Amino acid sequence: MYSKEESQRIKREFWVAFAEKYPRKWVLYDTKIKDFSFKFYVDNKKAQVLIDIEQRNDEKRIAYFEKLEALKNILEEEFIKDLVFEKEYTLESGKTISRIWVEITGVGFSNRTNWDAIFDFFNEKMHALEMFYLEYDEFIKDIE
């Protein structure tokens, strides 16, 4: 088991190595939709690529989620399979958001032999989500 400081150091090295292997600008928070973002997540059990919809206004949050849900067949057939759609996802903080994600399990940032597999997974899945979003962003944004 690592100390908190050691774990943070390894995590920093992980993200630096990822940025060096895939040096590009990701969409992430630059979706032009408030509280609608793409995220990378890794711990010592899994790696995930996520879309988090975090609007405080539940009606807006659900409207964005339902837009993505309406595109689910296109998303899965043309861009990325095995996505999990969860309209009501509760964060550790207790906040309810909507989340769509894909993950691989049995990998972790503290095992350097997993890094290439995680980096490749992140690159492939996030790239697919970004391509989907760039193609359908006008439809997704139009919730009024």
Q: Tell me: the pLDDT tens digits for 70-109? A: 999 999 999 998 999 999 999 999 999 999 999 999 999 9
Q: Report CA-CA distances (Å) from 47 to 13, 101, 116.
A: 16, 10, 12
pLDDT of residue 1: 63
* 47, 104 contact by CB (below 8 A): yes
pLDDT digits (tens, 9 = 90+) for 18-77: 999 999 999 998 898 999 999 999 999 999 999 999 999 999 999 999 999 999 999 999
Task: Supply the pLDDT for residue 144.
Answer: 66
Residue predicted with more confidence, 135 or 2: 135
Give residue for tokens 């993950």.
103
Instruction: Say if residues 2 and 110 touch (Cβ distance below 8 Å).
Output: yes
Angstrom distance (rounded) from CA 95 to CA 54? 9
Report DSSP letters for 97-143, one per residue.
EEEEEEEEES--TT-GGGHHHHHHHHHHHHHHHHHHHHHHHHHHH--
Query: Can you give the pLDDT at residue 3?
Result: 83
pTM: 0.91
